[in-house]
């Protein structure tokens, strides 16, 4: 059977993986929730489908790989909700199945280190949904599942420079607060390494080597631009939306040894400093693409 991947929820991380797999000769099919996004997916060389809606069971008969990026909601995982039985019936046919989760499943650890063996104690609704989705996918007998717990994602089109230039970037200070991050290109190379060396049942943290306070990242972006540091604001009194405030509910440092030791990944951007410098170098092209 020729290699064919269905990418459910073909978004930012999946788009970064696309050129790697196309170069290897894999046929790619991606889903989106709206007709408006189909053209952009198709332009990248991926056959696009609106899901839910399109009848995908015939395509599942030909699939060798599945990538699930679609996020769960209060009703559970949307892919399992619509196609769970069909996927379970074909579990032994797949060479590789990848589920993109989040380091939010670990919950708050007061800035301490976590790894893939750390018990899951999510403290947010989104983290709980991801934990439940991981469990639901893991419960399918015979499915060659690989779980990737992603840290905060940044990359082209998702950097802090526009906000720093506009004066809307904020340096929110909360004592002891630290986050882990990952450049989208390093997500892509990690997924590609796993596809090349499947290890069903494996779980990987996908993050860089340099967990850091969020205000340090904003401050470094301002320094790279030669602009003044945004004024510091105390978290306790800062005017923030509930969504923005929820991101500060957890503080932890995430270990990434497994992607290096088991998959041989050498991070292109081991620190946010490396990643921001690369984004700034690419920024004129990115701005033209995003207009």
**How far apart are alpha carbons 10 and 51 in whole angstroms?**
11
pLDDT number for residue 252: 97
63-72: pLDDT as tens digits: 999 999 999 9
Backbone torsions φ then ψ of 116, nearest 5 degrees:
-65, -15
Does some domain include residue 224?
no
Does some domain include residue 36?
yes
Half-sphere exposure of residue 265: CA atoms within 13 angstroms, side-chain side: 31
| SS3 state at 113 | strand
108-156: pLDDT as tens digits: 999 999 999 999 999 999 999 999 999 999 999 999 999 999 999 999 9
Range name among 18-22, 126-130, 281-285 with the lowest pLDDT average: 281-285
Does some domain include residue 166?
no
Residue 285 has pLDDT above 60, yes or no: no
Residue 79 belongs to domain spanning: 4-155+181-208+254-269
| CATH number for 199 | 3.40.50.720
The dihedral built from the CA positions of residue 91, 20, 116 and 120, taken in this order, carries a sign that is negative
Does some domain include residue 162?
no
Does some domain include residue 282?
no
Does some domain include residue 236?
no
pLDDT class of 61 with cuts at 50, 70, 90: very high
Torsion-angle region of 176 (φ positive above 0: left; ψ -120 to 50: alpha; else: beta): left
Structural domain count of the chain? 1
Strand-pairing partners, residue 233, are 172
Does some domain include residue 277?
no
Torsion-angle region of 59 (φ positive above 0: left; ψ -120 to 50: alpha; else: beta): alpha
């Amino acid at each position: 059977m020729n290699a064919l991947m269905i990418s459910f929820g073909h978004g930012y991380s999946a788009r970064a993986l696309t050129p790697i797999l196309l170069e290897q000769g894999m046929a790619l099919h991606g889903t989106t929730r709206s007709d408006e996004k189909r053209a952009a997916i198709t332009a990248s060389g991926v056959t696009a489908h609106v899901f839910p809606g399109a009848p995908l069971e015939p395509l599942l008969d030909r699939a060798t790989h599945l990538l699930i990026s679609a996020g769960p909601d209060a009703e559970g995982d949307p892919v399992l909700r619509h196609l769970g039985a069909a996927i379970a019936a074909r579990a032994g046919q797949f060479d590789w199945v990848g589920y993109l989760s989040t380091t939010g499943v670990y919950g708050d650890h007061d800035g301490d280190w976590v790894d893939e063996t750390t018990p899951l104690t999510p403290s947010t609704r989104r983290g709980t949904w991801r934990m439940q989705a991981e469990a639901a996918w893991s419960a399918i007998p015979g499915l060659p599942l690989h779980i990737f717990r992603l840290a905060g994602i940044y990359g082209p089109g998702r950097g802090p420079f526009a906000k720093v230039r506009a004066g809307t970037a904020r340096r929110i200070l909360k004592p002891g607060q630290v986050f882990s991050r990952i450049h989208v290109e390093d997500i892509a190379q990690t997924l590609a390494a796993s596809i090349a060396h499947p290890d069903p049942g494996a779980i990987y943290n996908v993050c860089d080597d340099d967990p850091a306070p969020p205000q340090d990242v904003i401050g470094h972006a301002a320094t790279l631009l030669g602009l003044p540091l945004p004024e510091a604001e105390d978290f306790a009194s800062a005017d923030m939306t509930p969504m923005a405030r929820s991101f500060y509910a957890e503080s932890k440092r995430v270990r990434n040894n497994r992607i290096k030791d088991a998959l041989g990944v050498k991070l292109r951007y081991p620190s946010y400093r490396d990643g921001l410098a690369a984004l700034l170098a690419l920024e004129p092209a990115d701005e033209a693409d995003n207009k």
